[in-house]
Structure 1
Amino acid sequence: MIRTRLALAALFVAVLAAPAAGQGGGRVYAVDGDCDGRPRTLVRMADGYCLGRVWQRTGNDGPRMPRGLLELPDGDWLVTDLGSWDAGRGAVWRMSPTADGGVRWTRLIRGLSMPHTIARGPDGRVYVAEMSRILAFDPARPDAVSAAVEGLPDNRLHENRHPLSSFVFDGDGALLVNVGAPSDRCLNRAGAPVRDAQGQCAEGAEQGMVRRYAPAGRGRWGPDWTPWASGLRNSVAMVRHSSGPVFQAENSVDLTTPARPFDEINRLTAGGHYGWPYCTDMATALPGWTARQARCGERTAPVSLLPPHAAPLDMLYYEGAMFPQLRGRMLMSWHGYRRAAGRVVAIETDASGAPLTDRPARYAIYPQGSLPYPAEAPAPRARVLTPGWNAQPGRHPQGSPAGMAVARDGSIWIADDRAGAILRIARD
């Protein structure tokens, strides 16, 4: 009996000491001091910047895996919640600041499948991309949800790859929609290419591309689509510059070495083929495909490389007032877990929004140091805003920035899905 009581007491203590849901061991952001009105995290930032903690999940209230952010006119925020990598467990939440500096959560929509991108459309409604469709709703009436686009592939994570859809609105009102590739390299279990009658990847007819849905009026888009840009493994991060060009940040294939392949920034144009699953880096045939099959010289090359396995998940142009030095720059979140990821960067751009590049160049790695890009390859002229976001036990986890948004005051808000946190970059 005594032994049983001791065991139960030990179990009770272990339960009390367990980390909160959504955080995991070592995923808490410790704070000390003030960051423009928010508790200041201990993440080392670039000079002139600080990272405040807006919220971090400690119980059962609020999103489990926050991904996308959208500020509302009244100062509230909409947040997409992936929920888990299983269908039907995602949601859209409304985050309302409270007088004591905290936030109040209201779940507006539930039962979604891996929602990610959230944006306001040209008609004023809010659009949300989940795994197999794009929804539209009015935040004042979240019960009245309609489908803007349906029939996207049901690309489940553990059956295929790349289940997340995303989108941007083109200048003519068309929806440009990411449909991720169903596999890593279009190879079978024996490592041989899965080819069609023409010898090309048999998986590229409807997936691994950005589709174009033409507007059909009254906030709807027809069921018919055209392949707009193909050869793209996973275009979760896309952005349209105000002058018209559309850019994409490619999550490249999963080779086991941390040194390659490099991720990419591509300028998307109608009819372009950008290499998947044949080529990577500037023009290198991927294992499994011969140089003759890959025909890398015929593919559209990236405008810039990114560090290997950076896993870019969001990109936007900064036009806020808080950081004049960042105006016009392309902000990008690097979500991956390897040594080059866990960063938010600001990339210099030209008048068309294209990244300015350097040759030769290097990229930073954790815990310290840097590695070279390929000598003749273009690399982004970027400033890392979060140089110290590697894991530091007792202080903070390695950053997992997913979605970003620029608030009306010019601060940069970030969703960290692995830590279940909403963070805010402000002027130090």
Structure 2
Amino acid sequence: MNMSIVKKLKALHQLALSLTCSALLSLPLVAETAWRIDTVASDLDFAWSLAFMPDGRFLVTERTGQLVILNADGSEAKRQAAALPDMFVAAQGGLLDVLLAADFDSSGRLFLSYSCGNLNANSTCLASAQLINDELTAIRPIFRAQPERRGAAHYGGRMVQLPDETLVLTLGDGFDYREQAQNKANHLGKTVRLTVDGAVPADNPFVNQAGIAGEIFTLGHRNVQGIVYDPQTGQLFSHEHGPKGGDELNLLSAGQNYGWPVATYGVDYTGARVSPYQRFVGMQDPLYVWTPSIAPAGMTLYQGALFPEWQGNIFVSALAGKALHRLQLTAGKVTAEQVLLADLATRLRDVRTGPDGAIYLLTDGAKGQLLRLLPN
């Protein structure tokens, strides 16, 4: 490409900021669309992530450490333990995201994020592997976030592959280490950009800078659990959990600082102030904020054919909010929001657009489900 992906994302970020004067105003509800919800599969054990296989089957990660292949009709085709090196399963930790590589059809290659280590020293890890004849093989760790920390919360773990085939992996601040989100010497509270082999791309924003981790793509995050790339505009969106209030939707640009914990619209769980600042010079404002918190967990950019009126909308699955949030974007800013599926009253972990144009969701819990949203 004529312009590197890093420079392109920077240019698009500046354009969006010039068009977005405020994302925090009350927004109108968007018009209703007739839809129905079907249950595709049940009895999933804390399902975390969903991917679509070329043959029409589903690939599901369970945070408890299982990789599950479901047939197109939802029946279980294969369940296997993801034998990832040093995997640590506790609280928010375990097997997290699954991403099929751009060349999966020919190589069978995929990527898995997971927590690794033990209760006293753990981190977010990334491994590449191959799925050959439904067997997970050739597992190879390619990245381990540093430093390791104590506890079992705020791992981030979502992934996206950009058109240049680099990977962006989201990370959390480790919960008790929030000040480290501003420390460029480590990976806590960052997103990182890597090659498919885990190396640092030559055009990363902080590459070869003394005292700075070269993998860093953006910084100042709390716990990023949603990320999507828009192939039509070249924009990269993420969302992250705030503390008590202050969940954010952000437009990511290489090298930018997204504020946490210096600038936040949330407060601590005790009600104490995290920071006196909601905005701070040199730090990026969110495109949109949720207060009270909805606990955003998954995200998809809809570009399917079944719901033409939803083209280009962002869908966010919510855990605490127990709903699916549809955001309408116009000229780079959120102009309307609709809350769907609140009547289910269940925690929604992941949301994806299927190759058939339907919207698929994973519910959270020991008896989780794979749901499909279709036009009525």
Q: What do the CA deviations read for 1:382-416 (whole angstroms, capped 9, x no partner)?
A: 22232423xxxxxxxx2211112222321111110
| SS class of match (1:122) | coil
AA of the residue aligned to 1:405: R
2:78 aligns with: 106
Change in Cα spacing, 1:180 to 1:282, as seen in structure 2 (3 Å) is closer
After superposition, the C-alpha distances for 1:59-105 in whole angstroms (9 at most, x for unaligned) are xxxx411111112122211001101xxxxxx121101145xxx5124
Report the equivalent of 2:373: 425
* 1:151-185 Cα shifts (integer Å, max 9, x gaps): 224867x7153134222223322221112102257
Letter in 2 for 1:178: T
Which segment drifts farther, 70-79 or 176-185? 176-185
2:51 alignment partner, one of 54, 66, 70? 70
With over 3 angstroms needed to count, the CA separation of the structure-2 counterparts of 1:182 and 1:282, relative to structure 1, is closer
2:309 pairs, out of 300, 307, 325, with 325
CA contact (8 A) 2:70 2:76 kept: yes
Is 1:301–2:293 an aligned residue pair?
no
Q: How far off is 1:232 after superposition? A: 0.4
| Unmatched runs of 5 consecutive residues or more in structure 2 | 1-31, 88-93, 116-123, 201-212
1:407 paired residue among 345, 354, 361: 354
Which residue does 1:346 correspond to in 2? 326
Identity fraction in percent = 21
Aligned to 2:343: 388
Quick one: structure 1 residues 317 and 145, their matched pair in 2 at CA, closer, same or farther if it must change by over 3 Å?
Answer: same
Q: Work out which of the residue numbers 118, 133, 157 in structure 1 matches 2:98.
A: 118
Q: Note closer, same or farther for the CA distance 1:229–1:164 as it changes in structure 2 (3 Å cut).
A: closer
Residues 201/427 of structure 1: CA separation in 2 closer, same or farther (3 Å cut): closer
Question: Whole-Å Cα distance in 2 between the matches of residues 206 and 326 of structure 1?
Answer: 36
CA 1:160/1:91 → structure 2, altered by over 3 Å: closer, same or farther?
closer
Tell me the C-alpha RMSD between the 2 structures.
3.0
Contact in 2 for aligned 1:232/1:274 (Cα 8 Å):
yes
Instruction: Work out whether 1:166 is the aligned partner of 2:147.
Output: no
How many residues are aligned here?
307
Flag the 1:67–1:53 CA change in 2: closer, same or farther, 3 A.
same
What is the distance in 2 between the residues matched to 1:289 and 1:387? 32
Matches within 5 A, 1:29-428: 47-57=33-43, 63-83=44-64, 90-97=65-72, 103-112=75-84, 113=87, 114-124=94-104, 125-131=109-115, 132-141=124-133, 142-147=135-140, 149-153=142-146, 159-183=151-175, 186=178, 205-213=186-194, 215=195, 219-222=196-199, 225-242=214-231, 243-253=233-243, 255=244, 261-281=245-265, 287-289=273-275, 296-336=280-320, 341-350=321-330, 354-357=332-335, 381-389=336-344, 398-418=345-365, 419-428=367-376
How far apart are the structure 1 equivalents of 2:146 and 2:60? 24
Q: CA deviation at 1:289?
A: 4.3
Q: Which amino acid aligns with 2:348?
A: P
Q: TM-score, normalised by structure 1?
A: 0.64
The structure whose Rg is larger is 1
Q: What's the TM-score, normalizing by structure 2?
A: 0.73
Q: CA deviation at 1:49?
A: 1.0
